[in-house]
Structure 1
Amino acid sequence: MRKLLAILCVLCLVQPIKAQDGLIQNISSRKKISLNGRWNYVLDPYENGFYDYRRKPFDESNSKTGGYYDDKTEVDKSELIEYNFDYEPTLNVPADWNSQAEKLAFYEGTVWYRRLFSAKPINGKKYLLYFAAVNYEAHVYLNGKKLGIHKGGFTPFHFDVTDLLKSGENSVVLKVDNTRRKEEVPTINTDWWNYGGITRDVYLAELPDTYIHDYKIQLAKNNAQELEGFVQLKGSNKSQKLNIQIPEAKLNINVQTNNNGYAAIKIPIKKLQYWSPESPKLYQVKIIANTDTVADKIGFRTIQTSGKDILLNGKSVFLRGISIHDENPMVAGRPRSTGDLRMLLNWAKELNCNFVRLAHYPHNEEMLRLADEMGLMVWAEVPVYWTIEWENPDTYANAKGQLTDLITRDKNRASVIIWSVGNETPLSNPRHKFMGNLVDVARNNDNTRLVAAALELHRDGNRVIIDDVLGAKLDLVSFNEYAGWYWGGTPKEITKYYFDIKYDKPVVISEFGGDALGGFHADAETKFSEEYQEALYENQFKILKKIDALRGMTPWILVDFRSPRRPHPIYQNFWNRKGLISETGKKKKAFYTLYNFYETIKGLYK
């Protein structure tokens, strides 16, 4: 009998619950309990907790010992159990593991997380276990049963755990692996720290049996007189009447969902205050179903291009931007709080910015909500970075999934004006197909925003050439150029270069810059000095202003950030020093140079 039960248990484990179809919208508005806090962890570089000695997964074998996901303790002195979460150290969640223990600083591999929590599930309610981000591959178990697997270090995922949740104590275990692999997205080679762990919030959300799963309410494409979107219900009672309210705008309409729980929305409007950096107006929006209610704060604006111009609410705008990594320089690791995120965006505002590029992957959802509130337009990106396995169908499916999840999560954020499908990807026919298909995915999921990518350039003497076939499918000509740092000589020598751009579209320079060690001063020809970086910026402005279609830029980067690619013991010490603010929060000389340039630009675009 015990053998039969063991076999049945294994069958349960190899048939994980299917992850929820599509992401739930606006998890922050839901009734939920936080599973943040201290989680016990087991360091497992050999993956002993997942594979037996024949390298066969325990959840696919008849092994009596089982994997760490069983979360067992000895009940018989003859039992062999070679782990015990109860006596293991703890890591804080949300946070990366690299910054919490010295032995984990450069660690890439498997770490097992375990959290015990109490629950009182109610009959007729639905329960979702929600992770805002786990880097990179997560195997998730609840009470010893496998829920599923998620790949991608920056997008949320969740599972319906209604049937597995117990009244009383529950155990959630994650196998988290941040190993870089060539077929993944991002691939092996990057220029940022590969922070592993449960890096964003974890929730157990309680929902009614039929609930508002997803919705979009935005201005229609190029139409400031109509709100457009949809509502999607999930559950057993999909056909319902819905009431949508925007009280301040005196809008109150009723719609009916079909048998699949879907209702399209079209709302003519007479008067709205449009969202902009100067006036980041957000409206309280409420969606009321018979069984559920959701509230959100949403801004409304249009974004489009016309010839060489970018039009925000029909008016030409210059994107005074800066690039940002999802990292707090002064407290090692990923941001741990809203305060960390607000600090980064406040620095961008102090820099005279109205625009930020959130590179090179989806940032925390809270970052986008803060950008809505603070009036910063956003370039949002997926980590299709450098040399991806362009001909691997699984790699493409991964990239497509991350892009789809990013758009699903942030489609109601007025601040997001650009979806970016990648960064500095070398030219080839397989790459053109891969990224061209991603452009189509972005447009099919959201036709109200611009689509871009940070392209590479090529040089022929003093001519800087931007001629990438992908540019024909994009709304902007955006490219990274490092004249004065990686090529082109010293800052004073770069003014001889000029740009030959194939496409007659708005130009947004997605990166330029150079390293400076905060506090190191020398002449303007000494690399890593603040004076060199300052002169580089001054001369960049001279050559960039010659581009007639220049409509924005996001220099690289707001703040110094950690990177294993940067080992120089004096100037870098595993930091990329291209920030305009040092790792101590001190503004470098080039910070003020860019501020002053943006001040002159403001006078040209009212």
Structure 2
Amino acid sequence: MKIKLVSFAIICLACSPIGNTESLKKTEKEPHLSQAYSYIQNPDARPSLSLNGAWSYIIDPYENGYYNHRYQPYDQGYFQNKQMTSPSDLIEYDFSTAETLQVPGDWNTQAKELLFYEGTIWYHRNFQLNKQLNKRYVINFGAVNYAAIVYVNGKKVGRHEGGFTGFQFDISDYTNNGDNFITVKVDNRRERDQVPTVNTDWWNYGGITREVSILELPDSYIANYRLQLSKANQNQITTDIWIDGKLKSTSEKPALVQVSIPELGMKQNGYPDKNGKVNFTFKPNTDVKDENSLQQWSPKNPKLYSVELSYNGEVVNDKVGFRTIETKQDKILLNGKPIFLRGISIHEESPLTDGRAWSEADARILLGWAKELGANFVRLAHYPHNETMLKVADELGLLVWSEIPVYWTVMFDDEIVYNKAESQLVEMIRRDFNRVSVALWSVANETPNSESRLAFLTRLIAKAKTLDESRLFTAAMDTHSSSSNGVVIDDPLIEFVDVIGINHYCGWYYSVAEKCAEIVWENPYNKPVMISEFGAGALQGKHGDKDDRWTEEYQANAYKYNLQMLMNIPGIQGVSPWVLKDFRSPRRPLANIQDFWNRKGLLSETGIKKQAWWVLNDFYVNMAIKKDK
């Protein structure tokens, strides 16, 4: 059902859940509202009720709370939150007496018996809502791994698939003024037709892993916006704003939209068009000799501007930066000048506690380590990290590679799987339009070369370009071949990316470290190359000869010769070694060494530096000194 069109066309978000796979199919039929914009951006800037904290939970490996004994979904599941009203009642669950889990948080590290658990857990909590007239109420989940079905007061409000992107549902018509409850069926089982698929080299953390809140919005509100330097004219700032929600009556004009950037002395007003969109163009002072002129964001000068957007009584504040990123032949240009990306790869694991990272404190420590290492760039692998990481990267001046988990052996010949990957790509891009740190969107990691894989990934790149032409596109590839002289960069996907990402583990998975520096690379493409991964494992505190695997000396030696090798690669413009810190992985069972940790970190899981840290740190510091001379 849609609200009757009056002054401009808008989807009724109370009727169509925001951001789930079901509603994406619906919004694709609407020419006025792309699926990229049907998401309420920057939820932290909206008035909200936090649902963080203790949630009751019930482990349900057989999914008795969803299916009856004939394995059919039924309407008396756990989401009804039934309570005994007489001693004869038969109710075989009770959230009021159940144990609790902290949200945000994964369940694996909060209860010993759940460390390896994969399956369904029901989350539940009560909440009070003071409902106001002419307000919309939207529940916002930062991420739930992997599949979620959300119920409010026993009614299903929507479902979402994908463990690393946010989603939202309008729950205005499902809530009461006063007492309410929410129940979420969370299932982290790995399946062959998922993205990622069954085999990964990271921990399958289950649960509500990022923050949850209920947004209180006007009946018509700013859903999404984008501010950036114009691609056609880099002396202009273009602003696009999308309005969503209920319509005004036929006798009323839509409310005025106002955008201001106070530091630049800029302010404009306008009305949404019939499609709920409004555009502004700013022409800032770009005289570099004027201290009040527009400053472009860079790692050396991570300048952010306070932006205020107002509409229909709502004010949304954000901090954005302005910069350009492009390639010219085999160079990466930031603000028109060549830049070498001195990077490090990072997994989303907390340096403070055990399990998933989600907080600002986590982000500041992880990215602070990257800065201490000498990095100006981070690869956030192998999935979209939490929004706080991007905001802190904006502030600290770290360029970002952001990636969806199209990883290893995704089913490239399955259209349903493609749709899942595309949904995650759209959700990643739409959330982070305004994060100036994001320089590269990556569509895959280490995928095997085939015709179906090429068709799959090129479709993703084409889709991404319809949403964002202001950034570079890449993928981490391991499809290079040997020649009589060394290694040839060889992958048909290279034709479609802006930056060639190569994962290469000389001295660990093949050969010995000393021979790495002798490898001759051939690059037949006139495009920039990044070594998106290299590295070796070491148990922090284990010492021995440089040829003794798992010692810090072995890892440091591998770094020494790999760094010599990569600087001889034609077109090399960046590197993001694997990986900042040790992280959990079920693929790594070696007792007394790995103990289910991937040991390729430059830091231990508790943040202690290994010898290889200093090898890379010296390399980056010396590179930065030479560049500044």
TM-score, structure 2 as length reference: 0.91
Measured after TM superposition, the shift of residue 222 of structure 1 is: 6.4
In the alignment, the residues of structure 1 paired with residue 602 and residue 232 of structure 2 have an alpha-carbon distance, to the nearest angstrom, of 36
Distance in 2 of aligned mates of 1:561 and 1:19: 35
Determine whether 1:566 maps to 2:591: no
Would you say 1:42 and 2:40 are equivalent positions? Answer: no
Q: Which amino acid aligns with 2:446?
A: E
Deviation, 1:18, is 3.0
Which residue of structure 2 aligns with residue 447 of structure 1?
469
1:600 aligns with 2:622: yes
Shift in alpha-carbon separation, 1:223–1:580, aligned structure 2, 3 A: farther
CA deviations on 1:64-99 (whole Å, 9 max, x unpaired) are xx1000011111333221100011100000000000
Q: Residue 411 of structure 1 corresponds to which residue in structure 2?
A: 433
Query: Offset at 1:351?
Result: 0.2
Secondary structure, counterpart of 1:472 in structure 2: helix
1:227 matches 2:250: no
Local SS of the residue matching 2:174: coil
CA distance in 1, matches of 2:509, 2:485: 15
List runs of 5+ in structure 1 lacking aligned partners. Answer: 1-15, 60-65
Equivalent AA in structure 1 for residue 136 of structure 2: K
Q: Name the residue aligned to 1:485.
A: 508
Equivalent position SS for 2:105: coil
1:447-486 correspondence runs (5 A): 447-456=469-478, 457-460=480-483, 463-486=486-509
Distance 1:177 1:200, change over 3 A: same
Residue 439 of structure 1 aligns with an amino acid whose one-letter code is I
Report the identity percentage: 48
Equivalent in the alignment of 1:252: 267
Q: Which residue of 1 aligns with 2:339?
A: 317
Select which of 43, 49, 53 maps to 1:33. Answer: 49
Alignment-derived partner of residue 533 in structure 1: 555
Q: Give the conservation status (yes or no) of the 8 Å contact 1:462–1:496.
A: no
1:69 alignment partner in structure 2 = 79
Offset of 1:119 from its aligned partner?
0.7
State the SS of the aligned residue for 2:139: strand
Quick check: 2:523–2:571 contact (8 Å CA) kept in 1? no
- Contact 1:17 1:148 (8 Å CA) reproduced: no
CA distance in 1, matches of 2:428, 2:379: 14
Shift of 1:308: 1.3
- Structure 1 residue 487: Cα displacement: 1.0
Which segments of 5 or more consecutive residues in structure 2 lack a partner in the other structure? Answer: 1-13, 20-37, 287-293
2:71 to 55, 70, 80: 55
Match of 1:107 in 2: 117
Distance 1:17 1:261, change over 3 A: closer
Partner of 2:523: 501
Aligned to 2:285: 270
Range moving further from structure 2, 100-109 or 288-297: 288-297
The aligned residue for residue 551 of structure 1 is 573
**Corresponding residue for residue 19 of structure 1:** 17
Matches within 5 A, 1:298-447: 298-329=320-351, 331-447=353-469
In structure 2, the partner of 1:207 is: 217
Mean Cα deviation higher: 323-332 or 126-135: 323-332
Conserved 8 A contact 1:17-1:146? no
| 3-state secondary structure, aligned to 2:627 | coil
- CA separation in 1, counterparts of 2:520 and 2:337? 28
Letter matched to residue 401 of structure 2: W
Give 1:462 deviation, angstroms. Answer: 5.1
Instruction: Say whether the 8 Å CA contact 1:329–1:561 is kept in structure 2.
Output: no
Superposed displacement of residue 310, structure 1: 0.8
Query: What is the identity, as a one-letter code, of the residue corresponding to 1:30?
Result: R
Q: Which amino acid aligns with 1:482?
A: Y
- Structure-1 separation of matches of 2:571 and 2:515: 23
Which residue of 140, 145, 156 corresponds with 1:146?
156
Q: Distance in 2 between matches of 1:583 and 1:294?
A: 38
Distance in 2 (alpha carbons) for counterparts of 1:124 and 1:241:
17
Output one character per residue of 1:132-175: Cα deviation in whole Å (capped at 9) or x when no partner: 10000001000000011100001011111111111111110000
Q: Distance in 2 between matches of 1:363 and 1:53?
A: 39
Q: Secondary structure at the match of 1:434?
A: helix
> Does 503-512 or 257-266 show the bigger shift?
257-266
Q: Deviations over 1:370-406 (max 9, x none)?
A: 0001111100100000011111111111110111111
- Per-residue displacement from partner, 1:486-521 (whole Å, max 9, x unpaired)? 012x21122232212231111111000000100111
1:547 CA displacement: 1.6
Shift of 1:477: 1.1
Relative distance call for 1:542 and 1:336 in structure 2 (3 A) is closer
Contact 1:513–1:556 (8 Å) recurs in 2: yes
Q: How far 1:224 sits from its partner (Å)?
A: 2.6
In 1, Cα distance between equivalents of 2:103 and 2:118:
18
Q: Which whole-Å CA distance do the structure 2 matches of 1:480 and 1:432 have between them?
A: 18
**Residue aligning to 2:598:** 576
Tell me the amino acid that sits aligned with residue 417 of structure 2: T
Between 173-182 and 247-256, report the one with greater CA deviation.
Answer: 247-256
- Between the aligned partners of 1:74 and 1:348, the Cα distance in structure 2 is 54
Q: TM-score, normalised by structure 1?
A: 0.94
Question: In structure 2, do the counterparts of structure 1 residues 87 and 290 end up closer, same or farther at CA, with 3 Å as the change threshold?
Answer: closer
Q: Structure 2 CA distance, aligned partners of 1:598 and 1:417?
A: 20
Alpha-carbon displacement from aligned partner over 1:41-78 (angstroms, at most 9, x marks no partner): 0000000000000000014xxxxxx1000011111333
Aligned residues: 584
Q: Match of 1:123?
A: 133
Deviation at 1:604, TM superposition (A): 4.1
Shift in Å at residue 240 of structure 1? 3.7
Deviation at 1:461, TM superposition (A): 5.3
Kindly tell me: are residues 394 and 303 of structure 1, through their superposed partners in 2, closer, same or farther at Cα, counting changes over 3 Å? same
Instruction: Give the deviation of 1:226 after TM superposition.
Output: 1.1
Residue 90 of structure 1 aligns with which residue?
A: 100
Kept in 2, the 8 Å contact 1:135–1:176? The answer is yes
Q: How well do the aligned residues superpose, as a CA RMSD in angstroms?
A: 1.4
1:480 alignment partner AA? N
